[in-house]
Amino acid sequence: MTYVSSLRRLNGIAMASSVLLVFGMAALGVTALRTVTHQTLQDIMALQSGSSLASGLVGAVLSEIRAGQQHLLTPSLAAKAEFLSSGDSAYVLQGHLRRLPFLNAEDRRLINLAGATQAQLEVAYATAHALADIGRADEARLIAVRAGGTTDSLVAVVRSLSEEQGRHALERAHDLQSKAAFYQKMLLLCAAAALLVAVGAGVALVRVVDRQLGRLIAAADRFGAGDLRPVQLGEMPAELARLASALDDMAGRLRTVVSEVVKEAQQIGNSAGDFSAMSEEIAASSGEVSAAMVKISSGADHQVAGMEAADVLLARLRDAVATNADGAQKAVRLAEEIRRTALRYRQDVETARTTLLDVRGVVQTSAQQVRALSERSESITAFIDLIKQISSQTNLLALNAAIEAARAGEHGRGFAVVAEEVRHLADSSARAAEDVTKTVEFIRSQIREVSETMQRGTAKVGGIEMIAEAVVQGLDTIGSAIGEVQASAAGLAQETEDNRDVVGKLAERTAQVARAAAEHASSSEEVSAAAEEQSASTEDMASSASALLDASTRLGKLVAGFRT
Amino acid sequence: MRFARYRHLPAGSACAVLLLTLACSAGQGPILIGLAGPFTDSVGAPMRRAAELAVEQANRSGGINGRRIELVIRDDFGDPDSAVTAATALEAAGVVAVIGHVYSGTTIAAAPVYNDPRDPVVQISPSSTAPEVTGAGDYTFRVCPSDLQYGAALARFAAERMGFRHGTILYLNDPYGRGLRQSFLNSFTDLGGAIDDIDPYLGGDPDVSAYLDRLSRRGMSQFIFLGGNYPEAEATLRAAASRKIRIPLLGGDGLEGLEKAGTLAEGSYIANGYLANFPSAQNREFVRGYADRYPGAAPPSQAAAATYDILFLLRRVIGQVGTDRKKIRDGVAAIGLTAPVYDGVTGEIAFDEQGDVPKQRVVIGKVRNGQVIAVEGQ
């Protein structure tokens, strides 16, 4: 039995042969019974007719002899007629005896002997009758006496014929016995053959199922261990082949899903790495912004201090204008110094603004990438839904298989075990999918948080920019004011004498500048605070990124268990 | 009987296989036909000569569909026991048909062997005339008239043609003699005749002296009807002559050959189904061929002529149906019923349902100058 196309067919064939053999047994039994009964009946009938014929023959012969004797003593037509008719009926009986079934050569010889003896007897009596008729009574008596011996031998012949029949009965009985024994043997043989076929078929069925199930279980074990590579199961019965193809199908789908998940996990990992690097860059940029602001702030302080000094100087100048024309020259030099300082600060602020612009660009890119990540995580969810669907289908399949196995009864027990294993596998794949769902959900919430934080950061960077622009404008204002101070100082050198009011205005302007510088300083502090805040947010983002990285690593490890 | 058939199933299949092998090997071999009779006595010897002549002639003209005919000859010595032995031997030899036996006693004794339902074979007797042969079995046939026909024909002849009113019956105490005795007795008394005495004798060297003494003493009988064979008839005629009894002797086909007994036999009347001087063309040819083949032998007897007819009849049937025993039996049984009658040297052979030939005529002849001459105006 190398290959069985269907268990049901094998089972059917085995059952059919067993039933056929049992039917054959029944037929044989019935035939044997009928044969033996029929033969017994026939034998009994033959024996009956044989014995009745034999006794009839004896009667006919005896009445013939009686009539012959009577005719010898007192000749009469009636006695002569009875002598003849009895003899004839004896011959008729011999004819019937001759036609009995189951006669052997000895029987025929005895029947022939009976006929011959009867013929002798008749001739003897007829001769005696003739002699008596012509008055030779003594000779007649002598012949009659001699005929007595013939009579005895005739009776003996008929008796041995009866005995022969008895022997036949015995032989027939023996024959029947041996025939019955033969049928018994045949029946036993049939029964043994039926048993053999049934047991053989059972063993073959179990072996076939066992072997194929073993292969299926090994395949399921392999899948369970995470080795999802295709399995060559070979030819198997139709019922198991269905299961095998389902198993193969399931492995194929799992393979696709796992490879997708692995790809996604790698992408998430990459994105998280990028994200992390970006966060670090943002953090660094924020530090630079912060340092620049600190510088701006200290510059503004310097400016305020300078303004105060300028105020003092202007006051002194006011006094000196009146007194000293050289004071104008000093004022010009001082104004030059102020202008250079303002220009330097403007450059610093410009640098800070450019850095901020860079930060904004980076944050925007990060926001885009996080959005992409969020979309990817949605596709992961869709794949996981697919896994769930497959595992629920597999579960259903396993349930059906379990029902089929139950229907197969004893033979399906091993199969039921497989079905249970397959169901476990489906359950565990469902659980894994659930885990993945949770992880992805976590990642998505993290991404959402990161996204929000980034939006906040972007808004704050926008605020910083505005402040920086205000600082630049203020510095520009300082620059032009200084220019005007220089021009005024130059004019002052000529027109000190002419216009004292201008100095008063200058003083006023200086006071204005001092106010602007104070404002500027407070704005710088604000920017610094915002930068610090952003730095904190960036740190949050970095930690989120590292959490994302962790999650993607875990996901990678989870799917790395599968061999596709 | 439905199940009785299965009893012989293993034996039957074995036989079938054996027959198949036999049939295959016999495909080129000769067709075996059995011949059973008392070939050592004067009744059986002509039968054997006729059978061998017929086989020679048949084989010269192509045998049966190109196959030679071969005789399997078994002597039954005219004895019922030997007849059973001979029949069993012929069955076992695988003959497809048997010609025999000659006497009614041997035919009846052997009939159960040929009719054995296990493997029957057709048996056609040329000369067994006893009424008991009728119904001896489906496979038993004869081509001669029965004793009922002989007895009736002789009774009519005695009562009407000869005008006899009284007669004595002597009969051989065997089925043939008893059958002929009874049919003659019935017919003769029906025709108004009276039988003075009916006495049996035994075959071989019969002692009929007591009967003849009584007959002589009474002096009533106008004829002696002898139901037996010609040696006994000769002995009876001799004993009658010694007692100066000069009444005619009448008898059936068993007396055939009595005409050779010299003056004793002159004037006796013999009924027969066949006379060598039958004028038909077939018979003249047969008699000539017989005389050529066996110079110096007596003209063919009824048994010889009938044997000759049976062999050619079997040749026709086997040529049509082949060598299957059952088919041969059916082919023989159909002759005269559904198949055409067989026109032989003994006359037209047409079987009735019992395997008898009621249309075969009985001819009564008178012994004159050592010959049986058919009585005129029958």
Instruction: Indicate whether A461 pLDDT > 70.
Output: no
Q: Does the pLDDT value for residue A112 go beyond 80?
A: yes
- Give me the amino acid identity at B151: G
Model pLDDT, residue B106: 93
pLDDT digits (tens, 9 = 90+) for B238-248: 999 999 999 99
A126 and B84 within 8 Å at the Cβ level: the answer is no
pLDDT given for residue B290 in this prediction: 96
What pLDDT score was predicted for residue A352? 67
Contacts of B217 in chain A (CB under 8 A): 133-134
Two tokens at B100?
A: 């025999």
Whether pLDDT at A553 is above 50 = yes
pLDDT for A365 equals: 77
What pLDDT score was predicted for residue B214?
94
- Model confidence at A32: pLDDT above 70: yes
Pairing of β B269-272 and β B363-368: antiparallel
Residues of B in contact with A122 (CB under 8 A): 173, 200
What integer pLDDT is reported at residue B12 of this predicted model? 41
Which pLDDT score is estimated for B23?
Answer: 44
| Predicted confidence (pLDDT) at residue A375 exceeds the cutoff of 70 | yes
Per-residue confidence band for A497, with pLDDT thresholds at 50, 70 and 90: low
Side chain identity at residue A103, one-letter code: L
Chain A CB contacts of B197 under 8 Å are 130
Chain A interface, mutation test: which of B1, B107, B128, B173, most A Cβ atoms within 10 Å? B173
Per-residue model confidence (pLDDT) at position A412: 77
The answer to whether the Cα torsion of A379, A384, A387, A388 is positive or negative is negative
Mean pLDDT, residues A510-519 taken together: 70
pLDDT for A11 beyond 90: no
CA distance A72 to chain B (A): 14
Contact call for A98 and B112, based on CB within 8 A:
yes
Q: Is the pLDDT of residue A493 over 70?
A: no
Query: In the structure, what pLDDT confidence band is assigned to residue B22 with cuts at 50, 70 and 90?
Result: very low
In 10 A of CB A239, how many CB atoms? 19
- Range among A217-226, A457-466, A514-523, B28-37 rated most confident: B28-37
Altogether, the residues listed in chain B come to a count of 378
Q: Are A300 and A521 in contact (CB under 8 A)?
A: yes
Choosing among B211, B216, B217, which should be mutated to test the A contact, i.e. which has the most A CBs within 10 A? B211
The answer, yes or no, to whether residue A472 has pLDDT greater than 60, is yes
Residue B156: predicted pLDDT: 94
Q: How far apart are CA A395 and CA A397, in angstroms?
A: 5
State the smallest CA–CA distance between residue B32 and chain A in angstroms: 24
What 3-state DSSP class applies to B44? helix
Contacting residues of A for B109, CB less than 8 Å apart? 98, 108, 112
pLDDT of the residue at B268: 95
Per-residue pLDDT, averaged over A130-134, amounts to 90
Whether A127 and B108 lie within 8 Å, measured CB to CB: no
| 3-state class (DSSP) for residue B169 | strand
Q: What percent of chain A has pLDDT over 70?
A: 72
What crossing angle do the helices spanning A238-323 and A413-495 adopt, rounded to 10°? 10
Contact B3 A38 (CB under 8 A): yes
| A406 vs B145, more confident | B145
Average pLDDT over residues A452-476: 72
Write out pLDDT tens, residues A56-105.
888 888 888 889 888 888 888 888 889 989 999 998 888 888 877 777 77
Size of interface A-B (CB pairs under 8 A): 74
Q: What is the pLDDT of residue A275?
A: 62
Per-residue pLDDT, A501? 62
Residue A460 has pLDDT above 90, yes or no: no
Q: Does residue A131 belong to the interface with chain B, where contact is any CB pair within 8 Å?
A: yes
Per-residue pLDDT tens for A392-432?
888 888 888 888 888 877 777 777 888 888 888 888 888 88
- Residue B24: pLDDT above 60? no
Query: Which of the given ranges, A231-245, A340-354, B2-16, B340-354, has the highest pLDDT on average?
Result: B340-354
pLDDT at A4: 59
State the nearest Cα–Cα gap between B293 and chain A, in angstroms: 38
B200/chain A closest Cα distance in angstroms: 5
B173 interaction partners in chain A (CB closer than 8 Å): 119-120, 122-123
Q: Label residue B70 by pLDDT band (50, 70, 90).
A: very high
Residue B3, pLDDT score: 34
Q: Residue A558 — pLDDT band, cuts 50, 70, 90?
A: low
Closest C-alpha to B155, from B186, B198, B199 = B186
Picking from A31, A42, A119, the nearest residue to B202 by CB comes out as: A119
**Which of B3, B82, B103, B113 to mutate against chain A (most A CBs within 10 Å)?**
B3
A109 neighbourhood in chain B, CB within 8 Å: 81, 84
Across residues A282-304, what is the average pLDDT? 64
Q: Is the pLDDT of residue A55 over 50?
A: yes
For the stretch B166-211, pLDDT in tens is: 999 999 998 889 989 999 999 999 999 999 999 999 988 899 999 9
List C-alpha distances in Å: A310 to A315, A318, A334, A476, A509.
Answer: 8, 11, 8, 18, 11
A33 in contact with chain B, both atoms CB, cutoff 8 A: no
**Scanning every residue of chain A, which has its alpha carbon at the shortest distance from the alpha carbon of B207?**
A127
> Which has more confidence, A278 or A72?
A72
What pLDDT is stored for residue B91 in this prediction? 93
**CA of B171: which chain A residue's CA is closest?**
A123
Query: Is B375 exposed, middle or buried (CB count within 10 Å of its CB: 0-12, 13-18, 19+)?
Result: middle
Contact B210 A112 (CB under 8 A): no
Q: Give every CB contact of residue B114 below 8 A, 6+ residues apart in sequence.
A: B87, B91, B98, B120, B121, B122, B123, B137, B139, B140
For residue B107, the model assigns a pLDDT of: 94
Contact B345, B313 (CB under 8 A): no
Q: Are A134 and B203 in contact (CB under 8 A)?
A: no
Confidence of residue B19 (pLDDT cuts 50, 70, 90): very low
Contact residues, chain A, for B189 at CB < 8 Å: none
Give yes or no for A442 touching B (CB within 8 A). Answer: no
A487: contact with B, CB 8 A cutoff? no
CB contact under 8 A, B81 and A131: no
Per the prediction, chain A carries an average pLDDT of: 76
According to DSSP, the residues that pair with B368 across neighbouring strands are B371
Report whether pLDDT(B220) > 70: yes
Residue B159 has pLDDT above 90, yes or no: yes
Most confident of the ranges A177-191, A296-310, A512-526:
A177-191
Residue A123 and residue B112: Cβ atoms within 8 Å?
A: no
Whether the predicted pLDDT of A143 surpasses 80: yes
Determine the pLDDT at residue B249.
96
Token reading at B126: 């040329």
Q: Which of B114, B214, B220 to mutate to test the interface with A (most CBs of A within 10 A)?
A: B214
Identify the helix (H) or strand (E) that includes residue B371.
Answer: strand B371-374
**pLDDT over threshold 60, residue A490:** yes
pLDDT > 80? residue B29:
yes
Contacts of B294 (CB under 8 A, 6+ apart): B49, B53
Give chain B's contact residues with A (Cβ, < 8 Å): 3-4, 6-7, 80-81, 84-85, 88, 108-109, 112, 132, 173-175, 178, 182, 197-202, 207, 210-211, 213-214, 217
Q: pLDDT category, B2, cuts 50, 70, 90?
A: very low
Higher pLDDT, B39 or A15: B39
Q: Which regions of B131-287 does DSSP assign to beta strands (E)?
A: 140-142, 166-172, 194-201, 224-227, 249-251, 269-272
pLDDT of residue A466: 74
The pLDDT score that the predictor gives to residue B21 is 44
